[in-house]
Amino acid sequence: MPEITMPRLSDTMEEGVIVAWRKQVGDKVANGEVLAEIETDKAIMELEAYDEGVLERVLAKEGERVAIGAPIAIVGDGSGAAASAAPAAAPAPAAAPAPAAGSAPAAAPVVAEKSSRPKASPLARKLAREAGLDLAEVTGTGPGGRIIRKDIEAAAVPSPAPAASAPVQVSGDYEEVPLTSIQRVAAKRLTESKRDAPHFYLTSAVDVTELLAFRGTVNNAVQSAGGAKVSVNDLLLRAVAITLRANPAVNVSFAGDKLLRHNGVHVGVAVAVPAGLVVPVIRDTDRKAVSEIAAESRDKAERARDGKLRADEMSGGTFTVSNLGMFGIEQFSAVINPPEAAILAVGAATPELKLVDGEVTERKILRLTLSADHRAIDGATGAVFLQQLTALLENPLRIVA
């Protein structure tokens, strides 16, 4: 009997959580059909069957954490499913009298048809399970009535309960909240990064007054052509990629007794999601126009929040940008995302008085902080990178040239 094992669905995955089984014991399975939804350290992904047959046994329950390579199900010819489905101690029914000759055979008992499973996104199923919601009682507002995250969040709003049914309060002043797989792996890897990689930090104050005006001009042009709006972060990603291409000594990873100097510039963008923090990667960022970067970063950020990103879309980054400017944070230092050797923290653009040509004038200033691994990048190398990035952002026409 072919045994289905927990697959490695990402390069950093060590175990997975069974979010939901799409097939039940006794169901026929075709090659390529989805058997289950699995939460990895990066996203919720679909597990496809590689053999045809019948799902005979489920060895891992929904919500169970399983190590890579451990068996989770068995697909066979169906005989095993029939045996496991038969009740162990059910009494044998009394023999029915044989029908008289010539009489019509008795009608076979009608078996109730299993109701169809509600259509829902993998993230919605996970959130429903955590909230103890029955998907059959949730109204979907997505395409074709599909249940999406906001439907679960709306249904999870607690209604007043009678005092008699109030749950027993756990002793102490806290509530235990289990970490998601993404949070657990992030905690482990970032702890290792902060412990093993000697971080150093460089901060630059960038005058982005011209950049903000340039963004307005760009958006007027792209919107009149039916394109999507470009954000400051999109321009920043393009500028970072160009500067990395000119400074290959920053586009590296530390690998023990050697450095890996990457040929491609693949910039990751930190995105906060309900399950934790994920980093979608825009591959070959230096070769893409700002409009392409804008469309791709927006698409991946939305799919990251819905738990629909593939593992390969969150792997292979060579540098990461983390932007908290939209929250009003003026400056911060980020922890390096291993195996990369650097990460750029972006703050908010704030009005400040600055001396320009002998006159005090109001300008928009944005602070960038580069966190670098001193094993792979020295101070001067990081300083040159940040100096060139600052010059590029202060002359925005060069970003699209």
Q: Residue 63 carries which side chain, given as an amino acid letter?
A: G
Which residue reads 């954000």 in tokens?
231
Choose, from 199, 262, 266, 374, the residue flagged as catalytic. Answer: 374
Q: Is 144 left (phi over 0), alpha (psi -120 to 50) or beta?
A: left
> Do 135 and 125 contact (CB within 8 A), yes or no?
yes
Q: Residue 181 carries which side chain, given as an amino acid letter?
A: S
Phi, psi of 235 (to 5 degrees): -65, -40
DSSP character at residue 306: T
Q: CA nearest 349: which of 320, 369, 329?
A: 329
> Do 177 and 340 contact (CB within 8 A), yes or no?
no
- Say which residues have a Cβ less than 8 Å from residue 24's Cβ, sequence separation at least 6: 55, 58, 114
Report how far apart, in Å, the C-alpha atoms of 170 and of each of 167, 173, 176 are: 9, 8, 9
Could you give the CA distance from residue 39 to residue 23 in angstroms, rounded to a whole number?
A: 17
> Do 65 and 44 contact (CB within 8 A), yes or no?
no
The DSSP secondary structure of 40-101, one letter per residue, reads -SS-EEEEEPSS-EEEEEE-S-TT-EEETT-EEEEEESSHHHHHHHS-TTPPPPPPPPPPPT
Catalytic (active site) residue 374: yes
Indicate the pairing of strand 267-269 with strand 28-29: unpaired
DSSP character at residue 274: T
Please give the positions annotated as active site. Answer: 374
